[in-house]
């Protein structure tokens, strides 16, 4: 895959479609309670891309935003309910995209588990990726 290959993705019903231009900036599994509730999942795998490398291709009328905290909002398809995007003042220049909405692989694998200190007890992980948590969610945790 070359760096100028456009990667595409979309929601469950297909109304919201988007594309990104690699390179992506990072990829991580997020175990925070907000992600878990928003997606109805044990954790959510996100990747970040520079806003300038992101383009909404279709579905601007169907894409809705939920203000999940004062500084952050989550983008979802109002037709099918797919929770797709995350934007925050903390990472103002980035769009965060749930990896599961991509049509195929991206240019990197998940690198870490973040907010792992708040993970659910009903799943056991089998990988050796770094576990991170604390106030920022991204500080190395001494214990698993
Ligand atoms: Zn949809
Ligand atoms: Zn999260």
Nearest ligand for residue 38 CA: 2
Average pLDDT, the chain: 95
Q: Are strands 26-30 and 112-114 parallel, antiparallel or unpaired?
A: parallel
Measure 43 CA to ligand 2 centroid, in angstroms: 8
Give all strands (DSSP E) within the chain, no chain letters: 7-10, 17-20, 26-30, 44-50, 54-58, 63-69, 72-77, 83-88, 94-98, 112-114, 130-133, 139-140
- The ligand whose atoms approach the alpha carbon of 59 most closely is 1
| Share of residues in the chain with pLDDT > 70 (%) | 95
What is the 91 CA–ligand 2 centroid distance (Å)?
Answer: 13
Average pLDDT over residues 2-13: 85
């Amino acid at each position: 895959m070359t760096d100028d290959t456009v990667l595409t993705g979309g929601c469950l019903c297909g109304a919201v479609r988007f594309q990104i231009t690699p390179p992506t900036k990072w990829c991580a599994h997020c175990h925070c309670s907000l992600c878990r509730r928003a997606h109805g999942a044990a954790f959510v795998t996100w990747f970040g891309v520079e806003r300038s490398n992101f383009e909404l291709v279709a579905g601007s009328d169907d894409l809705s935003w939920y203000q999940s905290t004062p500084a952050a909002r989550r983008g979802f398809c109002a037709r099918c309910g797919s929770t797709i995007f995350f934007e925050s003042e903390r990472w103002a220049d980035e769009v965060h995209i749930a990896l599961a909405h991509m049509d195929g692989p991206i240019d990197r694998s998940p690198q870490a588990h973040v907010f792992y200190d708040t993970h659910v007890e009903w799943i056991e992980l089998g990988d050796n990726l770094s576990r991170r948590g604390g106030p920022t969610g991204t500080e190395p945790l001494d214990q698993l």
